[in-house]
Amino acid sequence: MRTDTIFYTIFQKYPTIFFELLHRPIQEASAYQFTSIEIKQLAFRIDGVFMPTEEEPNRPFYLTEVQFQPDDDLYYRIFAELFIYLRQYKPANPWQVVIIYPYRHIEPKDQLQFQELLNCDRVTRIYLDELEPEEESTLGLGVVTLIIEPETAAVETAKRLIAQAATELTNPNRKRDLIELIETIIIYKLTTKSREEIAAMLELGSWKDNRFYQESLAEGIGKGKILGKLETVKPFLRKGLTLEAIAESLELPLDLVREAAEDSNSQED
């Protein structure tokens, strides 16, 4: 299962879930953009970073790592990337590292060189199977824990989350996106089933025939939303993001992002 892809999709579309995992107010998500950062000349790319969208020096940036397979070099890589990034870009914001594991036994056993870092308040390790039951009952964290749900129970859990989304979400676009995300997670888990079979198992036919669902599909991205995204290009450039990473994060064509970057440079000149 491509868990990193699933998680990065979740964080990009539903950044509030990340802050739920950290026990932070979900309102903080509005001040961040989830993106990736390239470390020049070393072929490093930090795939998951929550960067503040405004110049607020007290607000941290979060380097986020999702690790579902054993990797003895994980902490060597994470902290190397972090400190090389700090050396190259000297960001004004304090750093935080968040590592998400499905289970505690996946974590590297050799922590000798990193014990002080791992125990400091700038590093958070999350084990999904150890979340409290009341946390799993929230819609966002329920979607996250669906990823580690046993196949035998996953479909029923997914159906409960879809019903919960129908009750709690009033925005038809968000409702559609979350239901499709839940469906995608089940597709990744049940690899022997076709999309049509899974849609039937999740009883999604009625959703996809729904008028609000169809209208939200047809809406697309409005002009105002595009302009709002382009306004964040300049702050991202200051933080060292590549044009490609910005375009991917904002879900905009690279040419449009490049034009916005050139406009901002010409204004500074």
pLDDT digits (tens, 9 = 90+) for 183-233: 989 988 998 888 888 888 998 865 555 544 455 445 544 445 666 677 788
Q: Greater confidence, 256 or 42?
A: 256
C-alpha span between 171 and 120 (Å, rounded)? 39
Q: Are the C-beta atoms of residues 126 and 90 closer than 8 Å to each other?
A: no
The pLDDT assigned to 224 comes to 53
| C-beta of residue 8 within 8 angstroms of C-beta of residue 1 | no
pLDDT of residue 74: 95
Virtual CA dihedral for 39, 247, 139, 157, nearest 10 degrees? -90
Segment 26-32 mean pLDDT = 94
Q: How far apart are CA 243 and CA 36, in angstroms?
A: 11
- Position 208 scores a pLDDT of 55
Domain residue ranges in the chain: 3-245
* Percent of the chain scoring above 70 in pLDDT: 84
Please give the model's pTM, rounded to 2 decimal places.
Answer: 0.74
User: How are strands ordered across the β-sheet holding 32-39?
Assistant: 32-39, 44-52, 61-66, 95-101, 123-127
The string of DSSP letters for 39-78 reads ETTTTEEEEEEEEESS--TTSPEEEEEE--S--TTHHHHH
CB 102 within 8 A of CB 147: yes
Q: What is the pLDDT of residues 83-138, one digit of tens each?
A: 999 998 899 999 999 999 999 999 999 999 999 999 999 999 999 999 987 665 78
The sign of the CA dihedral 84, 6, 16, 132 is negative
Higher-confidence residue of 106 and 261: namely 106
- What pLDDT is attached to residue 211? 47
Write down the pLDDT at residue 212: 46
State the pLDDT at residue 225.
Answer: 62
Query: Higher confidence at residue 267 or residue 92?
Result: 92
Residue pair 199/183 in contact (Cβ under 8 Å)? The answer is yes
Examine the pLDDT at 147 and tell me if it is beyond 90.
Answer: yes
Q: What average pLDDT is seen over the chain?
A: 84
Among 39-48, 50-59, 138-147, the range scoring the smallest mean pLDDT is: 39-48
The model's pLDDT over 6-26, given as tens digits with 9 standing for 90+, comes to 888 899 889 999 999 999 999
Is 182:161 a contact under the CB 8 Å cutoff? yes
